[in-house]
């Protein structure tokens, strides 16, 4: 096993791991006059460059990482102290994560208007074709919001920017629910009854607003992703997108897995590293990404990826799922082997490297030794 950092990997291969987006979307983004962040990952969203964005009246940037592959994007909104965006009304829905700051969002108009407060690490959903605006309530500090969208896919289908950003109807008028952004939710395990969400998941929380994803206390074990890993999935009503929050304890890591493009993984607590690779790389290379709160990684199609916690606290990630990722699951990679490598099946050098990194930091692995010996290992609860 050969581990290479991102810079070394790109220099050796000479491939363009910048971005892959539809031509019509590329034309749109180049006309926005704001920074476009590309590449295999974004080191820190808190430090990412923004510029004034005429469309919103505040500052912003677009994030088009290589692994999104033209399916989805992330809009980075930076609100100046006491700043507020112009009213936004567009055809696509959004999953919004508050990277930093405090404020309110007002959705709807007139008697139909609803507003709710958010703070750092809040998570909420904005339905398509629903007018809204964000307001930074701090007089001293900026706010940063990350909005996951399916805009590249929408552009490929609709191909009309005026229709996308000026839809002829107001979807919010069909909702008119003052409790829509309540933090109360409903827990499901297995089949979620909501429209637009077809996969079975062990842990599902049905709510449109999560006050703090870092302290959210409803996470539960998910043995499909690692013996010590816990998570919670957040589907949204009548939306093709979803999100989830996951946590792996001190001294542990997730199983290697792979899937379709576009799952944008934002680390929100802890520190560590991720390894990513394709099976057919002749030199058996694995690309290493060091991460901290604010690092954003999007695994490209079919790239296996591990996430390793090397900090003294539990680590959490937040994942924006693109539209229709549920169409590409186990069946998608038929003929290419498994989509997940259990710990007992993984390269022994993966564990050896993890142990070495922990020793260098004066820490030790908390991985159950039996998990390396039994493919179907189940921890005692």
Is 378 a domain residue?
no
Q: Say yes or no: 124 and 193 in one domain.
A: no
Residues across the chain: 381
Interatomic CA distance for residues 103 and 84, integer angstroms: 9
Q: What is the pTM of this model?
A: 0.94
Q: Say yes or no: 167 and 266 in one domain.
A: no
Residue 255 gets the label, from left (phi > 0), alpha (psi -120 to 50) or beta, of beta
Q: Say yes or no: 75 and 194 in one domain.
A: no
Q: Say yes or no: 78 and 161 in one domain.
A: yes
Q: Say yes or no: 156 and 55 in one domain.
A: yes
- How many helical (H) and strand (E) elements, i.e. helices and strands, does the chain have? 5, 26
Give me the CATH number covering residue 40: 2.60.120.10
Q: Show which of 147, 174, 201 is a domain's final residue.
A: 174
Is 8 a domain residue?
no
* Structural domain boundaries, residue 340: 186-372
Whether the CB-CB separation of 206 and 235 falls below 8 Å is answered with: yes
Is 103 a domain residue?
yes
Q: In what order do the strands lie in the sheet with 103-107?
A: 114-118, 103-107, 132-136
Is 2 a domain residue?
no
The one-digit pLDDT tens for each residue of the chain (381 residues) are 899 998 888 888 877 788 889 999 999 999 999 999 999 999 999 999 999 999 999 999 999 999 999 999 999 999 999 999 999 999 999 999 999 999 999 999 888 899 999 999 999 999 999 999 999 999 999 999 999 999 999 999 999 999 999 999 999 998 878 789 999 998 887 666 654 445 566 688 989 999 999 999 999 887 777 777 899 989 887 788 889 999 999 999 999 998 888 999 999 999 999 999 998 887 789 999 999 999 999 999 889 999 999 999 999 999 998 876 554 454 445 455 568 888 999 999 999 999 999 999 999 999 999 989 988 888 764
Question: How many domains does the chain divide into?
Answer: 2
Is 6 a domain residue?
no
Q: Say yes or no: 169 and 229 in one domain.
A: no
Q: Say yes or no: 135 and 201 in one domain.
A: no
């Amino acid at each position: 096993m050969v581990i290479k950092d991102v810079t070394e990997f790109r220099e050796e291969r000479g491939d363009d791991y910048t971005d892959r987006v539809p031509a019509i979307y590329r034309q749109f983004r180049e006309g926005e006059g704001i920074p476009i962040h590309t590449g295999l990952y974004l080191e820190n969203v808190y430090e990412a460059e923004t510029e004034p964005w005429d469309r919103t009246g505040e500052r912003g940037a677009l994030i088009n990482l290589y692994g999104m592959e033209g399916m989805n994007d992330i809009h980075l909104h930076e609100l100046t102290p006491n700043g507020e965006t112009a009213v936004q009304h567009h055809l696509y829905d959004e999953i919004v994560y508050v990277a930093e700051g405090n404020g309110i969002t007002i959705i709807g108009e007139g008697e139909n208007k609803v507003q709710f407060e958010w703070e750092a690490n809040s998570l909420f959903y904005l339905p398509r074709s629903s007018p809204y605006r964000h307001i930074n309530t701090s007089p001293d500090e900026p706010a940063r919001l990350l909005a996951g969208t399916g805009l590249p896919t929408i552009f490929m289908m609709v191909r009309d920017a005026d229709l996308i950003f000026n839809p002829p109807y107001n979807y919010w008028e069909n909702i008119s629910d003052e409790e829509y952004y309540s933090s109360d939710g409903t827990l499901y395990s297995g089949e979620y009854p909501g429209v637009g969400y077809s996969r079975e998941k062990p842990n599902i929380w049905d709510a449109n607003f999560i006050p703090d994803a870092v302290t959210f206390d409803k996470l539960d074990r998910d043995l499909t992703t690692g013996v010590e890993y816990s998570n919670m999935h957040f589907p949204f009503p009548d939306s093709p997108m979803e999100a989830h929050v996951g946590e792996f304890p001190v001294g542990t890591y997730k199983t290697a897995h792979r899937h379709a493009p576009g799952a944008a993984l934002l680390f929100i607590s802890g520190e560590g590293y991720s390894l990513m690779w394709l099976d057919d790389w002749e030199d058996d290379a694995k690309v290493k990404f060091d991460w901290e709160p604010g690092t954003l990684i999007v695994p490209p199609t079919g790239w296996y990826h591990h996430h390793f916690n090397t900090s003294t606290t539990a680590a959490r990630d937040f994942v924006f799922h693109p539209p229709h990722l549920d169409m590409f699951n186990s069946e998608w990679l038929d003929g290419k082997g498994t989509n997940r490598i259990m710990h007992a099946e993984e390269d022994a050098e993966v564990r050896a490297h993890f142990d070495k990194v922990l020793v260098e930091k004066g820490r030790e692995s908390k991985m159950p030794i039996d998990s390396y010996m039994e493919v179907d290992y189940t921890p005692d609860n």
